[in-house]
């Protein structure tokens, strides 16, 4: 009996030793693969930022040519694309007319110029950026474009040939000649044509935010209404409607929560709190500024680098021009919603030199108030409002008593109604918002509040 027990103990000891050897071997192999970069801990960037360029075979001097830069995030992390860097040698022969999505704000480096794009990419996401160039002189350029995302850098080569305009060749009639006992021959004069290729814009959904107004209720914050907004500067300025900030009679909620759109198929991610900087109730426009995270820790806005929506010129819009509207309507789910339409008309006012409102055929519900209407080039040209038929004044589309606006502790008929739903078809032109945005930028730089008009 004692001999059998001793034998069992020896077997157990040998088994434990074997398991220990296997464990050590596995740990050693994992450590080797980790340091070789083959495996990474979950959530860390594996450096897989990819980019490639589609450039036209030939670009004429004086005419706009477009390069398409495709960027793919093959990492396990969200990546904030900071810059697209172009060689200075290329810019000696061409001007950059636009980067969509992105901006013409740039930083000079040795031999390069970095254009700010501020675009957030989810893992596995792929985005295209259109760079519009206007060649100034003949050139045959070969070089690299670099995409910067924090410490991640992707370099891709390209070639561009700039040539003087080709003289149009007059189209000659086809001449058919025949001779006796000979097969007729067809003579076609040589021609040279350049067939343009159409490009489609990338929907700038990451520049659209959801705004949630909250009030302090007992020991927690209570949601009272939601709306939409557009990021108009990388350091956290957000354009929206004034009625989302202050619905009337001086009432304002306690906090404004900002949720970022990181993927069109996912609900927005609650990220920051913001405070009003400019509120113009006559225009029904306002500008918020991100101030803290959700734990009320102050944010260094210079490091936010949020994806910014470029501003267009609403004065260039014509009847029938296509429009795309983005926002969080609060119906049909929690994800961002896109509707398409066109410019259906304009509403004039003696107070403005241009239309006071743009009417659209796009179906827009109330939660999209403060969201974005972009043109065919991906630029912000108008802001959906709470008005229902594009007039200067009138009843709100859907106005409900949902908050204690008079501070008496009760939500009843003595409180101000808050516009929360319904369908709208009136857009504020972005040209009316540009002065407010500039004032907000001044406040952000100087810290001095500008009195509201």
In terms of pLDDT, which residue wins out, 378 or 351? 378
- Residue 54 has φ and ψ, to the nearest 5°, of -110, 110
Residue 390 has pLDDT above 50, yes or no: no
Q: What is the mean pLDDT of residues 103-107?
A: 84
Higher pLDDT, 170 or 348: 348
pLDDT cut 90: percent of the chain above it: 22
Most confident option among 15-29, 52-66, 304-318: 304-318
Phi, psi of 37 (to 5 degrees): 85, 5
Which residues 6+ apart lie within 8 Å of 328 measured at CB?
A: 208, 210, 226, 227, 228, 268, 334, 336, 337, 367, 368, 371
**Of residues 70 and 171, which shows the higher confidence score?**
70
Determine how many CB atoms are found less than 10 A away from the CB of residue 443: 17
Closest by Cα among 267, 250, 264, 252 to 215: 252
Q: Is pLDDT of 298 > 90?
A: yes
Confidence of residue 176 (pLDDT cuts 50, 70, 90): very low
How would residue 435 be classed by pLDDT, with cut points 50, 70 and 90? very high
**Tokens 């959906």 belong to residue:** 384
Using DSSP, state whether 388 is helix, strand or coil: coil
User: Please, which residues have CB within 8 angstroms of residue 354's CB and are 6 or more apart in sequence?
Assistant: 314, 315, 429, 431, 432
Which pair of tokens denotes residue 61?
């001097």
Burial 240-270 (b: 16+ CB within 10 A, else e): bbbbbbbbbeebebebbbbbbbbbeeeebee
CA dist., res. 320 & res. 158, Å (int): 38
What lies within 8 Å, CB to CB, of 437 at 6+ separation is 232, 233, 237, 239, 287, 311
Residue 250's pLDDT is: 64
- 142 vs 402, higher pLDDT: 142
Q: What is the pLDDT of residue 400?
A: 55
pLDDT of residue 200: 57
| CA max distance for the chain | 121
Look at residue 416 in the predicted model and tell me its pLDDT.
63
**φ and ψ of 248, to 5 deg:** 145, 160
422 Cβ contact list (under 8 Å, min separation 6):
365, 366, 388, 396, 397, 398
Residue 332's pLDDT band (boundaries 50, 70, 90)? low
CA distances from 10 to 19, 20, 148 (A): 14, 15, 60
405 pLDDT band, cuts 50/70/90, is: low
Instruction: Of 151-165, 183-197, 218-232, give the lowest mean pLDDT range.
Output: 183-197
Residue 321 has pLDDT above 50, yes or no: yes
Highest mean pLDDT among 13-22, 104-113, 389-398: 104-113
The per-residue pLDDT of the chain, averaged, comes to: 77
Torsion (CA) 33, 34, 36, 42 in degrees, nearest 10: 110
3 Rama sector, left if φ>0, alpha if ψ -120 to 50, beta otherwise:
alpha
This prediction's pTM? 0.53
Look up residue 20 and give its DSSP letter. H
In the chain the domains, ranked by start, together with CATH numbers, are: 49-165 (2.60.40.10), 205-446 (2.40.10.120)
Cα(306)–Cα(300) distance, integer angstroms: 12
Q: Which residue has the higher pLDDT, 359 or 404?
A: 359
Burial 405-414 (b: 16+ CB within 10 A, else e): beeeeeeeee
Instruction: Let me know the angle formed at the C-alpha of 403 by 401 and 404, rounded to the nearest 5 degrees.
Output: 110
pLDDT of residue 47: 57
Mean pLDDT of 276-295: 91
CB atoms within 10 A of CB 68: 16
Which tokens sit at 446? 């100087």
At 32, is the pLDDT very low, low, confident or very high (cuts 50, 70, 90)?
low
Is the per-residue pLDDT at 182 higher than 80?
no
pLDDT in tens, 154-169: 888 888 888 887 543 3
């Amino acid at each position: 009996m004692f001999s059998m027990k001793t034998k069992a103990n020896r077997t157990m000891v040998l088994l434990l030793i074997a398991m220990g050897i296997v464990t050590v071997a596995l740990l050693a192999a994992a450590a080797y693969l980790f340091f070789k970069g083959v495996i990474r801990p979950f959530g860390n960037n594996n450096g897989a930022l990819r980019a490639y360029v589609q450039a036209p075979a030939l670009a004429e001097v004086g005419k706009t040519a477009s390069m398409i830069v495709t960027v793919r995030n093959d990492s396990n992390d969200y990546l904030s694309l900071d810059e697209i860097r172009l060689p200075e040698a290329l810019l000696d022969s061409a001007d950059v007319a636009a980067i969509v999505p992105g901006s013409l704000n740039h930083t000079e480096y040795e031999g390069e110029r970095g254009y700010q794009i501020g675009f957030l990419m989810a893992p596995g996401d792929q985005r295209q950026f259109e760079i519009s160039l206007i060649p100034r002189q003949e050139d045959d350029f070969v070089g690299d474009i670099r995409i910067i995302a924090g410490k991640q850098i992707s370099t891709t080569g390209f070639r561009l040939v700039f040539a003087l305009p080709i003289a149009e060749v007059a189209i000659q009639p086809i001449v058919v000649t025949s001779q006796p006992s000979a097969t007729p021959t067809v003579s076609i004069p040589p021609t040279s044509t350049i067939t343009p290729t159409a490009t489609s814009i990338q929907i700038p959904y990451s520049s659209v935010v959801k705004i949630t107004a909250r009030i302090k209720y007992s020991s927690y914050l209570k949601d009272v209404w939601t709306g939409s907004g557009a990021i108009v500067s990388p350091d956290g300025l957000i354009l929206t409607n004034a009625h989302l900030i202050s619905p009337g009679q001086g009432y304002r909620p306690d906090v404004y929560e900002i949720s970022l759109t990181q993927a069109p198929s996912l609900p927005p991610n609650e990220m920051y709190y913001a405070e009003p900087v400019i509120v113009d109730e006559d225009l029904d426009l306002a500008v918020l500024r991100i101030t803290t995270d959700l734990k009320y820790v102050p944010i260094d806005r210079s490091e936010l680098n949020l994806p910014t929506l470029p501003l267009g010129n609403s004065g260039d819009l014509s009847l029938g021009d296509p429009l795309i509207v983005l926002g969080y309507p609060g119906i049909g789910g929690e994800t961002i919603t896109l509707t398409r339409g066109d410019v259906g008309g304009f509403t004039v006012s003696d107070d403005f030199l241009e239309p006071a409102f743009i009417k659209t055929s796009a179906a827009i519900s109330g939660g999209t108030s403060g969201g974005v209407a972009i043109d065919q080039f991906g630029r912000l040209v108008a802001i959906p409002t709470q008005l229902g038929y594009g007039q200067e004044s009138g009843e709100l589309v859907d106005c409900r008593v949902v908050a204690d606006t008079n501070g008496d502790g009760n939500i009843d008929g003595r409180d101000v109604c808050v516009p929360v739903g319904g369908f709208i078809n009136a857009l504020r032109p972005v040209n009316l918002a540009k002065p407010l945005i500039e004032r907000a930028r001044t406040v952000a730089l100087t810290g001095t509040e500008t009195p509201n008009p």
